[in-house]
Amino acid sequence: MGNRATIVLDKSEVDEIEEETGFTPSQIARLYNRFTALDKSGSGSLSRADFLRIPELAINPLGDRIVHSFFKGCPDDQVNFRQFIKVLSIFRPARRNHDPVKNTWQNKLKFAFQMYDLDEDNKVSVDEILTVLQMMVGVNIPDDQLQSIAERTLQENDKDRDGFITLEEFLTAMETSDVDNRLSLRFLS
Amino acid sequence: MLTTAASILVAIVKYYAIFESSVAFFIILEGILNIHLGIRSTYIKCLLKVFKFGNNRVEVKRPVIELTQKPERVWNAMAAEEKVLEDDEVYHKPLEVELKYKTTPPSDFKLQNVLPLIQTAMKDIVEDEVTKAFDAEGLPYWNMLTRTNKGYQYISFRLSVIWFAGWWFRHFILFPVRFMIAIAGQILLVLSAMLCSRLPAGKVKTAISRYATKVTFRILARALSLHATYHDRKNMAKRDGICVANHTSPIDVIVLSCDNVYAFVGQQGSGLFGFIQKEIAKAFSHIWFERAESKDRGAVVARMKDHVKDPNKPTILIFPEGACVNNTSVLMFKKGGFELDSPVYPVAIRYNPVFGDAFWGAQPTMQAHIWSMLTSWAIVCDVWYLPVMNKLPGEDAASFANRTRLEIAKRGGMVDIDWDPRFYSDDKNVEVSRWRLKQQQILSETMVQRKTNATPETFPETDTLVKNAPPDPDVRNTPIGRV
């Protein structure tokens, strides 16, 4: 099941995915439809080029980072459907009463944290903040101004003064923002 | 024993060939004489009845497939709809550079500022308007072409029989007839062009060449079992100006040429197609460009301007999208044809996908595309002639192009998407970086307080950033022919 390319889904696999991600079978069907639509080569898995063929994604300043987040831990640089839907399940709206599976508040914020954590060492340095800033504003702001913004951001959020923002510090910083609304997509059921 | 079998076979083949050729000849004759026997409309009505029957069978069967728990019964997920997200979640126009959570006035950068970008990116991964414009359109019910049979692998014996009968009918009865008609039509086209070019220039030549063009295109239309309904013919271009239409397939040319005579604009090809192009250019006034010349937009526009000034020359036909789109949406128009200071006659073409998909994107090559069209049931479309449009004083070509595009999309019931369709097939990142720079510029304004007043030098040139009209929520994809 792991990384084998999936061409069709059988019922047992759909049940597994439902349990793992919390999507309903019809939602899984729609997402599978989307997955195959993106898979132009028909190989059963997506490459980075397949993602970046979506024009709106290609022009998003953080597009490359977001695409990269799908590929963590995938061999051969290919994303199969299980991996694809696992990442997407983080963006299901979290409901209070339900058992959250993947879409917890923490998981959503962890995804946002990974945007900053370029070298994947679970901490964010001032250089990483600077790089992300450069991605977002391009050449419109001079580098020295960006450097001071990055340093200020680090200082504001680095509570234990070790020069890095850890995941816990990041979560604390984001407590005030309305994460559930901002990192959720309303899937048609 | 063997010889009698062989002779029976020979007899069958002989009668089959005679039957096919006589049908072909009859249809060609019908085309030349322009008689409408109503055969095609009856054929199409019968087809619809058959499809509906098939659909009922499928609907009945579907619950059974899902309830069966046997593991080898595959549940092919492609039967589901294309929509993934709820409607208001999706409906923001692509390239909407205003971010949803923009804070006004610009405040200091915070770590949260990545969140809206992540949100829109994930939303675009799951469902985006532009990709939907380039996938073949989904059907309301199965039309018994294997290529559209995505979800139903084995439904019922009766349906499979009907499907097989349909397949046999399309490939062995329809296809040979159509193929013969197509060949005859092309030969006739070249012959008539050769004849007309010999005539001395003047009114007679123009009249004869117009008549000959219409006849040959009518024959070619029959080769595809084309059934087009023309609406509002009073708005049709007479002999001046430019006709613009949305582009789905090379067939658009045939559809429009059956009803009116146009001059075509295009790149000079090679081989057989190039030869045909050269011949018909001698008799009718088409504009063909050499490859090098076509890159020089100024030269193209100049030639078109000359053509338009001449009152004897027919209306120019152009497809401003520049690429074939899947007929559910109308993409950005290139502004070249709108710079000519002449009236523009918009036309909306909408194919009914139930009978055969005219969209050239689903097949890799031209031959495959033609094959798939010659073996589909029919090509059914509606053509709407829109009232003439002129450039308003003070309007620039790009806005005029956009205004026309919106009219065409509205009339044809298609969604309008302000995205350059060439981007999709182009691997160069020119468009990406231009749009991305714009995004970055907006972000910089909203996210960061500028300490200096320095404006960036590398500001992208904005002549292709057409101002969008506010999204019209009534423009939706309504398939025609919902009988």
Please name the amino acid found at residue A77.
Answer: D
Closest in B69, B78, B131 to A11, CB measured: B69
CA distance B182 to B28: 10
Q: What is the pLDDT of residue B156?
A: 66
* Same domain (yes/no): A16, A72: yes
Could you say which DSSP state residue B145 is in?
A: -
What is the CATH classification number for the domain harbouring A109?
1.10.238.10
What distances in angstroms separate CA B201 from CA B209, B308, B357, one per listed residue? 11, 18, 41
- CA B227 from chain center: how many Å? 16
* Tokens (6 digits) for B17: 């060939």
The domain boundary, picked from A42, A59, A93, lies at A93
* Same domain (yes/no): A24, A79: yes
Helix (H) or strand (E) holding B230: strand B226-231
CA distance A86 to B31: 58
The pairing of beta strand B344-352 with beta strand B287-289? unpaired
* Same domain (yes/no): A71, A121: no
Report, in angstroms and rounded to the nearest whole number, the Rg of chain B calculated over CA atoms: 26
CA distance B235 to B144: 37
How far A34 CA lies from chain B's nearest CA (Å)? Answer: 7
List pLDDT tens digits, range B425-465. Answer: 444 454 556 667 777 777 777 766 654 443 433 333 333 33
Mean pLDDT for B357-376 is 73
CA distance A117 to A165: 9
Q: Is the pTM of this model over 0.80?
A: no
Mean pLDDT for B249-274 is 81
pLDDT one digit per residue (tens) for chain A, 189 residues: 333 333 467 788 888 888 888 888 888 888 888 888 888 777 888 888 888 878 778 778 888 888 888 888 777 788 888 889 888 888 887 765 455 555 577 888 888 888 888 888 888 888 888 888 888 888 888 888 888 888 888 888 888 888 888 888 888 888 777 666 778 888 877
* Same domain (yes/no): A131, A170: yes
Tell me how many domains chain A contains: 2
**Interchain contact, B440 vs A34, CB within 8 Å:** no
ipTM of the shown complex:
0.87
A18: in domain: yes
CA distance B87 to B321: 27
**Interchain contact, A91 vs B122, CB within 8 Å:** yes
**Interchain contact, A29 vs B118, CB within 8 Å:** no
- Expressed as residue numbers, the domain containing A115 is 104-182
- Which site among B65, B118, B417, B449 would you substitute to test the A interface, given the most A Cβ atoms closer than 10 Å to its Cβ? B118
**Interchain contact, B118 vs A186, CB within 8 Å:** no
- B478: pLDDT confidence band, cut at 50, 70 and 90? very low
- Which site among B88, B125, B419, B441 would you substitute to test the A interface, given the most A Cβ atoms closer than 10 Å to its Cβ? B125
Domain locations in chain B as residue ranges: 157-424, 429-482
* Same domain (yes/no): A54, A118: no
CA distance B410 to B472: 9
CA distance B221 to B185: 9
* Same domain (yes/no): A74, A109: no
**Interchain contact, A60 vs B124, CB within 8 Å:** yes
How far B459 CA lies from chain A's nearest CA (Å)? Answer: 9
Closest in A29, A157, A185 to B122, CB measured: A185
* Same domain (yes/no): A113, A67: no
**Interchain contact, A188 vs B113, CB within 8 Å:** no
Chain A CB contacts of B108 under 8 Å are 149, 152
A99: in domain: no
Helix (H) or strand (E) holding B349: strand B344-352
* Same domain (yes/no): A114, A65: no
Chain A CB contacts of B437 under 8 Å are 138
CA distance B328 to B320: 16
The domain boundary, picked from A93, A127, A143, lies at A93
The domain boundary, picked from A28, A63, A93, lies at A93
CA dihedral angle for residue B366, residue B372, residue B373, residue B378, rounded to 10 degrees:
-170
List pLDDT tens digits, range A88-106. Answer: 888 887 765 455 555 577 8
How far A127 CA lies from chain B's nearest CA (Å)? Answer: 14
